[in-house]
């Protein structure tokens, strides 16, 4: 089992394995473009536990709260 | 420059009925935020817009009629940008409004035109699938196609059209032919119901984007586009852990400096013109009551409204520029952690920033906040942000009581007042999130769009609309309050005082002001100050003008030096100064905190659809403002400040 997104180092590309959130929050993440199977690259983290900046495979870039990233399970993108 | 449109011709048999159906055709533009929707709207309508009237939709939805071939017309409506209709949480957010609009029964034919950014086709097609599932008659307009081509890729519109079963139109950034092509395509749309099909958005996007050289579908992960590479380079600087926040503070400071540098001369010019008009009226009508009403009441009110316009327009244009370039999302990213201390998130950044110009449009801008509790909290603390209407009073107090201090001290005091507003907002938000708006919030998910060059016309248009809305939402209130205030200041209470006393001292307003003295004395406010405060209950913009009327200074908005001197010279019956530095500090504390703006109260009522929250804002801001001014006045006294 891979790490959750909040623990993925900057610069690393991973695949979303599962999203452990309420269906409402999962749906919202899905609408934005972050779903199980999506490949994400961690671009940076804001200082002092601020949001994470990630890029999806399609080129969409998003800021995601750390608390949300902690609910996104990841696996190797390979 | 190309504009390529693929349309299925309407079946011959239905042509007659279709002719009729197309009369009153409503074209609804939808799309994700940053998809290029506003730009397409502008292209289609030539920048014409009026606010549509839709039952149940309380927000401004711009619409304009466009001519189709054969003398027919269609009404194009521009919905707010949204990601999904299915994942709606709050009916009052942008996506909730869009959903309500699409759900509402409509008479006449309707065509939904979805705008998709070609460089993010997979993300856009997720919304396409939702729209098709709803059975909407759909047309796709794929924008930013030039950016795709700049990266040697091309979208196969025929293949996309075949997979979706709806017409697809490709347009490029600044394409002159786009308008004609899109209009031709929508005129030819069969308007039939659609179905979702079995395709998967991401896989479909990959299969229709081809490399120009090879002509084969791009498979696997696409490399970053040119624009994304440029964005990444800029982000390395603008989101740098140390440089990023420094640049952010620099950009914000520049914006506010621009407001003061550019707006001040413009406001002075407005005041000068109003003064001139006033003199002309007085010359024509003499010094009677009618002239006084027209000059001091109506013209004074109109002058006050217009003097604020430059600030509102400049700040709106600055924010539009930040938004159009993509920097606004970066600002939200940088301040998210700070806003989380307040129980808010980066989503609240734009409304809070706008609140520094005027709370009224800022309250409307909270519709971008998806979390209902966060949205309500932001609405409730917005009246505490230092809006431009507070500035004249701050300036008057500073020039009256601190003119002997250095320029640096006065500037620091001004900055301190801005931060006092922010600090008050922080504390109010912390308190609200633990009480009235308690509960778990939705964590931040924010799109970080690629950097773009803003379109000057579009930005200018937004500035124009902001000015128009300010006149409508705030201007009319100020004008009405100014007129009522004139009556209260000029109509004497029968039997009050001796006829030789100035009318102002026998007026209804004076009676009210004196009645309030026992309550306001601990804060250092006498009846005159009370009258000005009661006058600015409706609109705090009127404070300086009202003080001028009370102290007999004509054209006080223009001539604050004389007014400052009059305030310093005012004496109590025992000969001691009526107003001192203590009074000034107390007044500043009151102005930082009190929601002296009926337009804001009305906006809160409109956005929360309740009387409870506007009443709550009035009660808590006035309660805290009174306590703070008493505390400041008494503490200043205790510390020996005169």
Percent of chain B with pLDDT strictly greater than 70: 91
Backbone angles phi, psi at B452, to 5 degrees: -135, 160
Residue of chain A with shortest Cα separation from B332? A63
From chain B, the residues in CB contact with A44 under 8 A are: 235, 239
Angle between helices B612-638 and B581-593 (to 10 degrees): 160
pLDDT tens sequence across A24-68: 788 888 888 888 888 999 999 998 888 999 998 877 899 999 989
- Dist. CA B607–CA B88, nearest whole Å: 17
Q: Do B123 and A60 touch (CB under 8 A)?
A: yes
- Position B59 scores a pLDDT of 55
Residue of chain A with shortest Cα separation from B371? A25
Residue pair A63/B336 in contact (Cβ under 8 Å)? The answer is yes
Q: Do B222 and A59 touch (CB under 8 A)?
A: yes
- Position B489 scores a pLDDT of 87
pLDDT tens sequence across B207-254: 888 776 655 555 544 566 777 889 999 999 999 989 999 999 999 988
Q: Do A49 and B337 touch (CB under 8 A)?
A: yes
Mean pLDDT, all residues of chain B: 84
Q: Do B84 and A28 touch (CB under 8 A)?
A: yes
A interface with B, Cβ–Cβ below 8 Å: 24-25, 27-34, 39, 43-44, 46-51, 53, 55-65, 67-68
From B466, B350, B331, B451, select the one nearest B34 (Cα to Cα): B451
Q: Which domains does chain B have, with CATH numbers?
A: 4-223 (3.40.50.300)
Residue of chain B with shortest Cα separation from A44? B239
- Dist. CA B173–CA B187, nearest whole Å: 22
Backbone angles phi, psi at B600, to 5 degrees: -65, -45
Q: Give strand ranges (E) for chain A.
A: 13-19, 39-45, 52-56, 61-64, 72-76
From chain A, the residues in CB contact with B449 under 8 A are: 61
- Dist. CA A72–CA A36, nearest whole Å: 9
pLDDT tens sequence across B454-469: 888 888 888 888 888 8
- Position B616 scores a pLDDT of 97
Cβ within 8 Å of residue B517, ≥6 positions away? B525, B526, B527, B530
From B567, B591, B603, B314, select the one nearest B464 (Cα to Cα): B314
- Dist. CA B567–CA B314, nearest whole Å: 32
Residue of chain A with shortest Cα separation from B148? A59
- Dist. CA B135–CA B292, nearest whole Å: 63
- Position B12 scores a pLDDT of 38
Q: Do B84 and A25 touch (CB under 8 A)?
A: no
Indicate the CATH number of A5-76 among 3.20.20.70, 2.30.30.90, 1.20.1270.10, 3.10.450.50: 2.30.30.90
Percent of chain B with pLDDT strictly greater than 90: 31
Give ∠ CA B92-B95-B97 in degrees, rounded to 5.
50
- The model's pTM: 0.84
From B46, B120, B109, select the one nearest B81 (Cα to Cα): B120
pLDDT tens sequence across B363-411: 988 988 888 899 999 999 999 999 988 988 999 999 899 988 888 998 8
- Dist. CA B278–CA B295, nearest whole Å: 5
Helix, strand, coil shares, percent, chain A, to 5: 20, 35, 40
Q: Do B333 and A30 touch (CB under 8 A)?
A: no
End-to-end CA distance of chain A: 14
B interface with A, Cβ–Cβ below 8 Å: 83-84, 86-87, 89, 119-123, 126-127, 202, 205, 221-222, 224-225, 228, 231-232, 235, 239, 241, 245, 329, 332-334, 336-337, 345-346, 370, 442-450
pLDDT tens sequence across B423-436: 999 999 999 999 98
Helix, strand, coil shares, percent, chain B, to 5: 60, 10, 30
């Amino acid at each position: 089992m891979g790490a959750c997104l909040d623990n993925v180092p900057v610069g690393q590309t991973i695949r979303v394995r599962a999203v452990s959130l309420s269906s409402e929050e999962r749906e919202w993440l899905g609408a934005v473009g972050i779903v199980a199977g999506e490949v994400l690259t961690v671009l940076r983290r804001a200082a002092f536990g601020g949001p994470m900046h990630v890029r999806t495979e399609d080129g969409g870039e998003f800021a995601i709260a750390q608390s949300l990233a902690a609910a996104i399970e990841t696996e190797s993108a390979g | 420059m190309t504009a390529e449109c693929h349309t299925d011709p309407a079946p011959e048999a239905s042509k007659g009925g279709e002719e009729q159906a197309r009369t009153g055709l409503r074209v609804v533009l939808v799309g994700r935020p940053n998809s290029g929707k506003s730009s397409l709207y502008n292209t289609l309508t030539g920048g014409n817009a009026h606010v549509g009237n839709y039952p149940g939709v309380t927000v401004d939805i711009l619409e304009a009629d466009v001519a189709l071939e054969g003398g027919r017309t269609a009404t194009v409506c521009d919905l707010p940008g949204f990601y999904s209709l299915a994942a709606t949480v709050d009916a009052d957010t942008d996506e909730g409004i869009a959903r309500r609009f699409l759900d509402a029964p409509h008479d006449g034919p309707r065509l939904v035109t979805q705008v998709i950014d070609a460089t993010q086709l997979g993300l856009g097609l997720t919304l396409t699938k939702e729209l098709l599932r709803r059975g909407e008659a759909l047309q796709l307009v794929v924008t930013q196609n030039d950016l795709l081509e700049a990266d040697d890729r091309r979208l196969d519109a025929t293949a996309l059209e075949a997979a979706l079963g709806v017409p697809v139109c490709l347009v490029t950034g600044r394409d002159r032919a786009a308008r004609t092509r899109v209009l031709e395509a929508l005129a030819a749309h069969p308007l039939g119901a659609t179905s979702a099909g079995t395709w998967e958005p991401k896989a479909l996007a990959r299969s229709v984007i081809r490399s120009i050289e090879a002509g084969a579908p791009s498979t696997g992960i696409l490399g970053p586009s040119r624009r994304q590479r440029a964005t990444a380079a800029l982000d390395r600087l603008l989101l740098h852990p140390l440089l990023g926040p420094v640049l952010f503070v620099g950009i914000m400071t520049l914006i506010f400096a621009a407001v003061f540098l550019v707006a001040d001369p413009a406001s002075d010019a407005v005041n000068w013109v109003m003064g001139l008009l006033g003199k002309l009226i007085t010359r024509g009508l003499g010094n009677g009551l009618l002239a006084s009403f027209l000059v001091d009441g109506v013209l004074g009110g109109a002058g006050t409204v217009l003097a604020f316009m430059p600030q509102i327009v400049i700040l709106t244009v600055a924010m539009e520029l930040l938004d159009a370039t993509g920097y606004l999302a970066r600002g939200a990213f940088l301040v998210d952690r700070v806003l989380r201390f307040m129980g808010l998130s980066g989503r609240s950044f734009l409304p809070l920033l706008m609140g520094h110009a005027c709370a009224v449009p800022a309250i409307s801008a909270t519709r971008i906040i998806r979390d209902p509790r966060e949205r309500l909290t932001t609405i409730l603390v917005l009246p505490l942000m230092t809006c431009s209407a507070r500035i004249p009073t701050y300036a008057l107090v500073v020039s009256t009581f601190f003119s002997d201090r250095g320029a640096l001290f006065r500037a620091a005091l001004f900055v301190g007042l801005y931060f006092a507003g922010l600090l008050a907002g922080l504390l109010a938000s912390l308190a609200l999130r633990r009480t009235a708006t308690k509960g778990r919030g939705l964590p931040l998910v924010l799109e970080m769009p690629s950097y773009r060059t803003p379109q000057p016309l579009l930005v200018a248009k937004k500035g124009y609309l902001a000015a128009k809305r300010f006149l409508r939402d705030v201007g009319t209130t100020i004008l009405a309050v100014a007129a009522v205030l004139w009556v209260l200041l000029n109509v004497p209470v029968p039997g009050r005082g001796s006829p030789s006393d100035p009318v102002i001292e026998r007026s209804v307003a004076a009676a009210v002001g004196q009645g309030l003295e026992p309550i306001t004395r601990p804060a250092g406010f006498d009846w005159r100050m009370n009258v000005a405060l009661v006058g600015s209950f409706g609109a705090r913009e009127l404070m300086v003008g009202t003080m001028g009327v009370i102290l007999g200074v004509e054209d006080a908005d223009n001539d604050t030096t004389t007014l400052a001197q009059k305030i310093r010279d005012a004496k109590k019956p025992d000969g001691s100064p009526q107003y001192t530095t203590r009074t000034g500090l107390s007044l500043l504390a009151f102005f930082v905190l009190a929601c002296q703006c009926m337009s804001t109260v009305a906006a809160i009522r409109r956005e929360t659809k309740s009387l409870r929250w506007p009443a709550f804002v009035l009660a808590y801001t006035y309660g805290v403002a009174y306590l703070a001014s008493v505390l400041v006045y008494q503490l200043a006294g205790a510390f020996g400040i005169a």
